[in-house]
């Protein structure tokens, strides 16, 4: 039994097409919210929970992350991920990593097995190999990229999770195949601590959308700073950051959970695939605003 409220939010990306059904993704995310609830109620740390949930999202093939990633213009799969522990502010990230099933596991290895915060490209691959992480033997048969609507470059499905555990610790994790048809070597906001991913003692945050705008808005760091210095709620701070992203010309969504269990899941794109474990134990899931 837990003594303090636990809470969690997960997302499957803020690229939602008006007429498409997302029932499969919503059911999947709801089942992961149930799983996160069970883990948190059994006393799992927020860090372990966000890693476990993002791993499930990665291997499902339902999102543009892990198995569902799309190739870059060289027909190669370069993936980004980050994880952050709010209590210690330890963080790990991989960028433009190739050839491994779980970028989020690799990010955690960067955090725990190296003195660094981020490894990119072949350095990330080499660490994953050294740590014995599961490799992708044949990228062409493993990855299951979604069709690109109208041939457009379209950010559809980064995944992320934020959690508050029964000891009051917060953590965030984000993983992505990046934007569709991206340039080789392009790195988005997800693995950049303070842009697409952040956790401290007040709040844990994961972003999704056109990464270039989230980087230029320092989106996740701005949410955290507004909570710390202006005492805004996670929802107020996330909405402010999204307005800034919009001012710059981008859109997307932000999930956040505060240390008191208040959650936020606003977006300014057409929708965001999302599931929430509220602090009162309720679980909700959908592509609409669940804040």
Which of 66, 71, 99, 157 touches ligand ASP (CB under 6 A)? 157
Count of alpha carbons within 13 Å of 22, Cβ hemisphere only? 27
CB atoms within 10 A of CB 79: 30
Contact by Cβ (8 Å): 158, 36: no
The one among 92, 188, 194, 221 contacting ligand ASP by CB under 6 A:
188
Give the shortest CB-75-to-ligand ASP separation in angstroms: 18
Asked if 284 is an active-site residue, the reply is no
CB of 154 to ligand ASP, least distance (A): 9
SS3 content of the chain, % helix, strand, coil (to 5): 35, 25, 45
Angstrom distance (rounded) from CA 90 to CA 141? 35
Binding residue for ligand ASP (CB under 6 A) from 92, 178, 250, 261? 178
Half-sphere exposure of residue 54: CA atoms within 13 angstroms, side-chain side: 37
Nearer to ligand ASP, 125 or 156 (CB): 156
Q: Which helix (H) or strand (E) holds 284?
A: strand 283-286
Of the candidates 158, 174, 179, 197, the residue annotated as catalytic is: 158
Could you tell me how many residues of this chain bind ligand ASP (CB under 6 A)? 18
Q: Which residues of 143-173 are buried (b: 16+ CB within 10 A; e: fewer)?
A: beebeeeeeeebbbbbbbbbbbbbebbbbbb
- Residue 179 sits in the site that holds ligand ASP (CB under 6 A): yes
Other C-beta atoms within 10 Å of 21: how many? 9
Binder of ligand ASP out of 32, 49, 64, 192 (CB under 6 A): 64
CA proximity to 12, closest of 196, 199, 161, 182: 161
Region near ligand ASP per CB under 6 A, out of 44-52, 205-213, 220-228, 282-290: 205-213
Nearer to ligand ASP, 13 or 71 (CB): 13
208 binds ligand ASP per the rule CB under 6 A: yes
Q: Which stretch binds ligand ASP (CB under 6 A): 81-89, 119-127, 202-210, 268-276?
A: 202-210
| 13 contributes a contact to ligand ASP by CB under 6 A | yes
Nearer to ligand ASP, 127 or 272 (CB): 272
Residues taking part in catalysis = 158
């Amino acid at each position: 039994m837990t003594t303090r409220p636990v809470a969690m939010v997960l997302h499957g990306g803020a690229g939602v097409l008006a007429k498409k059904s997302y029932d499969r993704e919503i059911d999947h995310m709801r089942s992961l919210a149930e799983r996160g609830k069970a883990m948190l109620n059994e006393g799992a740390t927020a860090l372990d929970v966000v890693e476990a949930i993002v791993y499930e999202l990665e291997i499902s093939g339902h999102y543009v992350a892990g198995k569902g990633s799309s190739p870059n213009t060289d027909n190669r799969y370069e993936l980004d991920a980050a994880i952050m522990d709010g209590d210690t502010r330890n963080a790990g990230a991989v960028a433009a990593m190739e050839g491994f099933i779980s970028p989020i596991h690799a990010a955690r290895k960067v955090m725990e097995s190296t003195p660094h915060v981020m490894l990119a490209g072949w350095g990330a691959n080499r660490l994953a190999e050294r740590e014995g992480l599961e490799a992708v033997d044949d990228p062409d048969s493993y990855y299951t990229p979604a069709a690109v609507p109208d041939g457009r470059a379209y950010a559809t499905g980064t995944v992320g999770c934020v959690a508050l555990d029964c000891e009051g610790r917060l953590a965030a994790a984000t993983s992505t195949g990046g934007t569709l048809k991206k340039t080789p070597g392009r790195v988005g906001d997800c693995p950049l601590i303070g842009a697409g991913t952040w956790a401290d003692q007040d709040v844990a945050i994961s972003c999704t959308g056109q990464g270039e705008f989230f980087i230029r808005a320092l989106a996740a760091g701005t949410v955290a700073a507004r909570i710390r210095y202006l005492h805004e709620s996670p929802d107020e701070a996330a909405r402010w950051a999204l307005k800034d992203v919009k001012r710059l010309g981008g859109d997307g969504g932000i999930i956040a959970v505060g240390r008191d269990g208040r959650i936020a899941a606003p977006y300014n794109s057409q929708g965001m695939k999302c599931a929430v474990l509220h602090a009162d134990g309720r679980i909700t899931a959908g592509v609409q605003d669940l804040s």
